[in-house]
Chains A and B, each alone.
Chain A
Amino acid sequence: MSSLAAFAADLAAGSLKIVDLTQTLAPDFPTIVLPPQFGQCAPFRMEVISRYDDAGPGWFWHNISVGEHTGTHFDAPVHWVTGKDLPNNTTDTLVVQNLIAPACVVDCSKDAANNGDYLLTVATLEAWEAKHGKIPAGNWVLFRSDWSKRSGADYANVLEDGAHTPGPDAAAVQWLVDRGVLGLGVETIGTDAGQAHTFTPMYPAHTLMHGAGRYGLQCLCNLDQLPPTGAMIVAAPLKILGGSGSPLRVLAIVPA
């Protein structure tokens, strides 16, 4: 039996299951909000074209509009200025081999779920490796914070000095880049911590990851259903011409 046939048989038999890591794309889902003098990422909008009515008697469909970085979405390297000149850095030129890849899930939910200023550090990553083995190159690293279990204002957690949401510190990002990871996936609106504009460098997850040609996944959910290692992630953004990212459906294949 080929490995693909075995895979199909495992899926059919239920010994592998699919976990949906995607938030529902809805108009009221929080988006990143930049200072008002900058351009803003459009929220998701949908308008009926016809609904079995005079605009289309037998069919129902919508026109939708959405920013590239709205909802559960993928960040391509070109998204950040540090990655602007890299090869294969846009959604239409990404190496498709990378769009299905294994994941290491770093569970920090115990400390991060109630702490908007929680930072993922090298020490935490090293402790994870001591328990689960070295993070292999080409793997996604998924940072579990359980923030996807929040909603609305609690999820965005914007205070007077900006958002307070968990993320990696600069050293942790550099450490992950050096490990050769494919990218960083998070449950919050950005791969960076809410206060990452105060870090050096600013926005390290964007600056360092994309500068190294790595990817980002944001607004993931259901990370609590994934094993620390062994999940296979299917994360293929829309093939947008010259795109910097795209909303997408992220699926994990895990042992049942």
Chain B
Amino acid sequence: MIRHPGNPTILPAAPLVPPAARSRTAGGLAVAASQGRFALQVCADCGRSQYPPREACVGCLGARLNWRDVPTGGVLSAASTVRISSDPYFRQHTPWRMGSVRLDCGVDAMVHLHRDCAVGGRVSMVLKLDKAGQGVMVALPETDINAMQSDPKFRAFTCDPAGRRVLVTDGRTTFGQAAARALIAAGAEVFLGIAAPWHPFPGQNDLPGTPMTLDLTDGISVQNAAAAIGARVDIIVNTSGYFRPGAGDARAAMEVSYFAALRLAQLFVPALQARAGDGTHPACAWVNMIGINGLVPDPAASLASAANAATLALVRALRPTMRPLKLINAFVGPLDDQWHQALPPPKTSTAQFAQAVIAALRDGVEDIAVGDIARHILAQWHDNAAITLHA
């Protein structure tokens, strides 16, 4: 069942965001949340976990505070329901449940509280990106594996495709087709963009969803698509990009990667942003398939590295300006396609990509690595970005 927007005869709920003012240090929470990790600062001298993020250890005043994954368990000490707020975002969303949790790692934290968490009971903690893109602590019942969906309030932290309309931008590729199929299976209604429909391509006689003409290398085509479906699409999954090894036509590569994303950003995404607060299933996410070589350049794919780096820089620069939308980077390694026939596995498969996109939307994370190579490189990069360039 596809969701319905709000009452069309009244002004829609504005796409507001919760308070975003945080210190640079607190960005570590957002980094962890963007990857689906639960990490806090841990003192390298005395081992004490810290919250909220700070510059010196509350135990020994040591300055060597490193972001480390910590145990996710805790006990709910106290709970309250906020009924009145001075903040415009929370005024839209009250009543809102808050609580104080004593984490197993020893810190006390004020957290967003799932409706089924009982005072005195065990909770499972996660870090989630809120609508402002900040990493916030959320307490969930330990036994509910579907907890982010079972409390309607928590849907705001995720982008579950169920009940939403999704545009998959490039249905000419098996990756776009696989993503579309998986999204439909996950309960979404899918529009599938097809460039140059006059030219045949594999799978064209069995396309999932609603195929429509869309060529991201042509601004007029993007404008036409935005006019046709921009007011209905809640999620964009952009599978257009340049993922080939070696060199090639640089201008054409930038057209299908950087300029394609730029046209979406300028001509299509604003329609989503305007509806990001409206209805039961507001517009919520823009996913881009990006080669991991855009993060760490690959000498075997110099052109793709530059093209993907350009796309990545664009998406990262736009992120704070496009809230409350989530801008999800789905980093892929070498694809299991005809262009990589000579490369042995592991390669990123269509099924891996499609399932990873669904999972990222459901979890509300913003940086995912698809396949072993992308996962390895992303982990290396988080560990020491500079050294990956010399690996």
Tell me if A153 is interfacial: C-beta within 8 Å of chain B. yes
Tell me if B218 is interfacial: C-beta within 8 Å of chain A. yes
Chain B residues near A180 (CB-CB < 8 A): none
What separation, in Å, do the CA atoms of A61 and B216 have in the docked complex?
A: 21
What separation, in Å, do the CA atoms of A156 and B220 have in the docked complex?
A: 22
Q: A155 contacts B198, CB within 8 Å?
A: yes
Q: A33 contacts B199, CB within 8 Å?
A: yes
What separation, in Å, do the CA atoms of A159 and B204 have in the docked complex?
A: 12
B19 CB → nearest A CB, Å = 33
Chain A residues near B196 (CB-CB < 8 A): 28, 30, 43
What separation, in Å, do the CA atoms of A31 and B341 have in the docked complex?
A: 28
A41 CB → nearest B CB, Å = 11
Q: B197 contacts A45, CB within 8 Å?
A: no
Chain A residues near B219 (CB-CB < 8 A): 45, 47
**Pick from A27, A158, A159: contact of B221, CB under 8 Å:** A27
**Pick from B197, B213, B252: contact of A42, CB under 8 Å:** B252
What separation, in Å, do the CA atoms of A155 and B221 have in the docked complex?
A: 20
Contacts A27-B220, A28-B221, A47-B219 given; does A152 touch B198 at CB 8 Å:
yes
Q: A159 contacts B200, CB within 8 Å?
A: yes
Chain A residues near B217 (CB-CB < 8 A): 43, 45
Nearest B residue to A65, CB-CB: B251
Tell me if B249 is interfacial: C-beta within 8 Å of chain A. yes
Q: A28 contacts B199, CB within 8 Å?
A: no
**Pick from B220, B221, B249: contact of A40, CB under 8 Å:** B249
A11-33 at interface with B (beta carbon < 8 Å): 27-28, 30, 33
What separation, in Å, do the CA atoms of A96 and B319 have in the docked complex?
A: 55
Q: B200 contacts A152, CB within 8 Å?
A: no
Tell me if B215 is interfacial: C-beta within 8 Å of chain A. yes
What separation, in Å, do the CA atoms of A185 and B221 have in the docked complex?
A: 31
Nearest B residue to A158, CB-CB: B200
Chain B residues near A57 (CB-CB < 8 A): none
What separation, in Å, do the CA atoms of A42 and B256 have in the docked complex?
A: 12
A128-184 at interface with B (beta carbon < 8 Å): 152-153, 155-156, 158-160
Chain A residues near B220 (CB-CB < 8 A): 27, 46
Interface centre among A28, A30, A42, A46, by most chain B C-beta atoms within 10 angstroms, is: A28
Task: Say which size band chain B's interface belongs to.
Answer: 10 to 19
Chain A residues near B200 (CB-CB < 8 A): 153, 158-160
Q: A28 contacts B213, CB within 8 Å?
A: yes
Q: A156 contacts B249, CB within 8 Å?
A: no
A82 CB → nearest B CB, Å = 25
What separation, in Å, do the CA atoms of A158 and B198 have in the docked complex?
A: 8
Nearest B residue to A44, CB-CB: B218
Nearest B residue to A151, CB-CB: B198
Q: B218 contacts A27, CB within 8 Å?
A: yes
What separation, in Å, do the CA atoms of A156 and B221 have in the docked complex?
A: 20
Nearest B residue to A42, CB-CB: B252
Tell me if A39 is interfacial: C-beta within 8 Å of chain B. yes
Chain B residues near A40 (CB-CB < 8 A): 249, 252
Nearest B residue to A29, CB-CB: B198
What separation, in Å, do the CA atoms of A243 and B220 have in the docked complex?
A: 28
A195 CB → nearest B CB, Å = 15
A223-242 at interface with B (beta carbon < 8 Å): none
Interface centre among A45, A152, A158, by most chain B C-beta atoms within 10 angstroms, is: A45
Chain B residues near A30 (CB-CB < 8 A): 196, 198-199
What separation, in Å, do the CA atoms of A179 and B213 have in the docked complex?
A: 45
> 1/0 contact trace for A77-117 toward B, CB 8 Å?
00000000000000000000000000000000000000000
Interface centre among B198, B218, B249, by most chain A C-beta atoms within 10 angstroms, is: B198
Contacts A28-B213, A45-B217 given; does A153 touch B252 at CB 8 Å:
no
> 1/0 contact trace for A203-246 toward B, CB 8 Å?
00000000000000000000000000000000000000000000
A183 CB → nearest B CB, Å = 26
Nearest B residue to A153, CB-CB: B198
B67 CB → nearest A CB, Å = 44
B301 CB → nearest A CB, Å = 15
A246 CB → nearest B CB, Å = 19
What separation, in Å, do the CA atoms of A251 and B219 have in the docked complex?
A: 30
A65 CB → nearest B CB, Å = 9
B99 CB → nearest A CB, Å = 50
**Pick from A33, A45, A153: contact of B218, CB under 8 Å:** A45
Chain A residues near B252 (CB-CB < 8 A): 40, 42
**Pick from A33, A39, A43: contact of B249, CB under 8 Å:** A39
> 1/0 contact trace for B165-201 toward A, CB 8 Å?
0000000000000000000000000000000111110
Contacts A152-B197, A153-B198, A155-B198 given; does A28 touch B249 at CB 8 Å:
no
Q: A158 contacts B199, CB within 8 Å?
A: yes
What separation, in Å, do the CA atoms of A153 and B213 have in the docked complex?
A: 13
Interchain residue pairs A-B with the least CB separation, the first 6: A153-B198, A152-B198, A27-B218, A156-B198, A30-B198, A158-B200
Known: A47-B219, A153-B198. 18 other contacts (CB 8 A): A27-B215, A28-B196, A28-B198, A28-B213, A28-B221, A30-B196, A30-B199, A33-B199, A40-B249, A40-B252, A42-B252, A43-B196, A43-B218, A46-B220, A153-B197, A153-B200, A156-B199, A158-B198
Enumerate chain B interface residues (CB-CB to A < 8 A).
196-200, 213, 215, 217-221, 249, 251-252
What are 9 A-B interface contacts by the 8 Å CB criterion? A28-B215, A28-B218, A39-B249, A46-B220, A47-B219, A153-B199, A153-B200, A155-B198, A159-B200
Enumerate chain A interface residues (CB-CB to B < 8 A).
27-28, 30, 33, 39-40, 42-43, 45-47, 152-153, 155-156, 158-160
